[in-house]
Every structure is written in C-alpha cells, then in structure tokens.
Amino acid sequence: MFHVTIVSADQELQDAFFVRRKVFVDEQRVPLSLEIDEFDETASHFVVYEKNTPIGAGRIRETSPGVGKVERVCILPTYRGLHLGKLIMKALEDHGSEQGFEKIVLNAQSHAIPFYESIGYVITSPEFMDADIPHRAMEKKLTK
C-alpha cells in the first residue's frame, strides 16, 4: 500500500516539494525561501506514496567524504503514526550506504528527537533554532 521512490522524474520531484510545502510551509510556517534551497538541485530526493498519492518526502546529500546529511523528512499529518517515518529513513539510510557514507547526520526538530533516537541516532549538539523551530544535531554510524 505504501512505497518509497527515489526521485528520477520531474513529477516525482514536484510531489516531494508538494509534501514539503504542506508540512513545513503551511503547517509549520517555515518561509518558502528557507524551505526550498540550493541543495535541492544536488540532493537525492525520496517520496513516500500511498498508491499514486504523495504523502511523505525526504532528501539526502553528501556534506563531506563519507558523510551524508538527511534533510526535509516529513509525512503529511493524516498519515503520521503509521511508521512511515521509519520507512523513508530506511530508504535514505540504504541509499547512503550505497553511496559509501559511513555516517548520517541530521538536524532534528526537538519534538522529533525520540523518533530519531528509536532508530539509532544520537544527539551531538545543544538545542539551536532553525526557522524559529528548536533543533538538535544528531548522527548515526552506518554499518557495512
């Protein structure tokens, strides 16, 4: 019923942007100018679909040799609680492993820290503000 796709066509990228706008811009009030950034051009994007309907998104990019950064992970509100965050994170981590990343870093919204801890991420920074939302840096070593 649910599946994750790595973006390979413009419509899939537009689907990712649709979900991100709904969650980050409409729901969380992040300015669109911060949500869509220069890294969208080079990151690998993923979309969670229910049949053909986009309901989740995320991206990963290399920030330094062997390090991937996961960003913009989101699920539409009506689909939360169905373990779709774990589904997309597994796809992002698997892609990172395929790219030779030794670890994944991310900046988690503070309310989402328990989710990321449940899948093996550890906090690596004090709390900081990003787009007026509290965050903490986290990381996870990938196993080979």
pLDDT tens across 95-131, in order? 999 999 999 999 999 999 999 999 999 999 999 999 9
8-61 pLDDT, tens per residue? 999 999 999 999 999 999 999 999 988 999 999 999 999 999 999 999 999 999
- Hey, what are 66's tokens? 């062997």
With residue 118 as reference, give the H or E element that holds it: helix 113-118
CB neighbours of 52 closer than 8 A, spacing ≥ 6?
Answer: none
Nearest residue to 131 via CA among 47, 27, 13, 14? 27
Alpha-carbon separation of residue 65 from 8, 23, 59, 69, 99 (angstroms): 24, 31, 17, 11, 10
Rounded distance between C-alpha atoms, residue 16 and residue 27, angstroms: 16
Rounded distance between C-alpha atoms, residue 118 and residue 93, angstroms: 14
Question: Which class is 2-141 in CATH?
Answer: alpha beta
Q: Distance between the two ends of the chain, CA-based, in angstroms?
A: 29
**CA atoms within 13 Å, Cβ hemisphere of 91:** 22
Q: How many CB atoms lie within 10 A of CB 53?
A: 11
pLDDT, average across residues 80-92? 96
Mean pLDDT of the chain: 96
pLDDT value, residue 144: 64
The residues spanned by each domain of the chain are 2-141
Q: What percent of the chain has pLDDT over 70?
A: 99
Q: What percent of the chain has pLDDT over 90?
A: 96
